[in-house]
Structures are given as C-alpha cells and as structure tokens.
Amino acid sequence: MAGLFRRGTEVSDVREKNSKLEKEVGMGEGNITYLTPDAEFKGTIKFTRTLKIDGKFDGEMLTDEGEVIVGSTGAVKANIKAKNAIVEGQVDGNIIASERVELRKNAKLMGDLQAKTLVIDEGVIFVGKCSVHPEGFTERPKMNENKTAGKAL
C-alpha cells in the first residue's frame, strides 16, 4: 500500500506542476508536450498545442497554432515557426511567430526574429535581426538561413 500511495503522490505532484505550467502560459485546458532536462531529440517536430523544452533539441519546430516554450535549462538549435514563443533558455536559430515572442530574463537568442509582438526582459542576450510589426506581415520577409541550426549541440 505504501508504494501505491507514493506513486499516487508523484502523479499528484506532476498534475500540480502541469497545472502551474498551464497557468503560466495562459492556457486553461490544453495538452502540453514536455521534453525533460535529461532528454535529447533531433529531427523535425510538428505539433498543434504547447511544447515545452527543458532538454536539448536539434532540428526544426513547426506549428501554426501552437506555442513553444524553451525552459531555463533548454538548449535548442533549430528554426522555430509558431504562433507564440517563450524563451528562457538558449535558442540558436531563427524564430518566426505569427503572434508573440517573449525573451525572458537570462534567455539567449542567436538568430533572427519576426513577430507581431516582442517582449524582452532585462538580462537577455539577442544577436540577430529583429522584425516586429503589430499588424502582422502580409508578405514574409526573408530570414537569414542560420548556419548553426542542424549541427550537434
């Protein structure tokens, strides 16, 4: 019985953490895909909801309606196309967001950025070109091809 009780407590803790994460990203009811700090993934990932990365990712992220969160321990070498992006860790690649990009304290972005809305906290390192237009883009400006995206982390 004690083993079952502990397992139930762990599941409860995970649910509590997911609930806090959903509130943090402003989602009431949604599925969050989570890449843990000890995980590494290479390739192209397509998704429709929220993807949080605290591990290492190398490749390309594509979503029309989803959100990408690069956590404080996240290390991403990829071009990102999403509705919204929140960066707390490191991104080495371009970000194209149809809505909003947030670069939070201690984030590092090495690449070009395009969005309707941009929020940059104090302490962020951003090396690249930035294109922000509140009404969106009728024609996508060309982003520089990032030579580091796709190389091993």
Cα angle 107-109-112, degrees, rounded to a multiple of 5: 150
Q: What is the pLDDT of residues 100-117, one digit of tens each?
A: 999 999 999 999 999 999
What per-residue confidence (pLDDT) applies to 145? 54
**Distance from C-alpha of 147 to C-alpha of 51, rounded to nearest angstrom:** 24
Residue 147 has pLDDT above 60, yes or no: no
Residue 26 has pLDDT above 50, yes or no: no
Q: How confident is the model at residue 134 (pLDDT cuts 50, 70, 90)?
A: confident
**Distance from C-alpha of 81 to C-alpha of 140, rounded to nearest angstrom:** 12
- Model pTM? 0.72
Q: How confident is the model at residue 135 (pLDDT cuts 50, 70, 90)?
A: confident
